[in-house]
Amino acid sequence: MDQESKISLEAALAAQSALRKNAGLEPETFTMPDFVGMISDEIEQLRRMGRSDDEIAEIVSSNSPIRITGWDISQHYAPPEARNFFKAD
């Protein structure tokens, strides 16, 4: 893989999971505010498309074991200027 190759989120998570397991570490966990902050790019885009926070919460809850509400999203959404993590393309 060269420097210009892109790594999918799924591949990155699989690699991190394997590394943590081999290092004897527990799975990484996040608080609800941190999780919502992490998915704020996607929340922003879905809001632009007219989706409500309740609809976004339903997408998350119906496609993962994460139980989240529209209130959680509205309370913990991180606006673009508050997002301090690596950006994916």
d(CA 72, CA 54): 9
Supply the pTM of this predicted model: 0.82
- Every domain of the chain and the residues it spans: 31-82
pLDDT tens digits, residue range 7-45?
Answer: 999 999 999 999 999 999 999 999 999 999 999 999 999
Task: State the average pLDDT for the chain.
Answer: 91
CA distances from 88 to 15, 27, 49, 56 (A): 16, 22, 20, 20
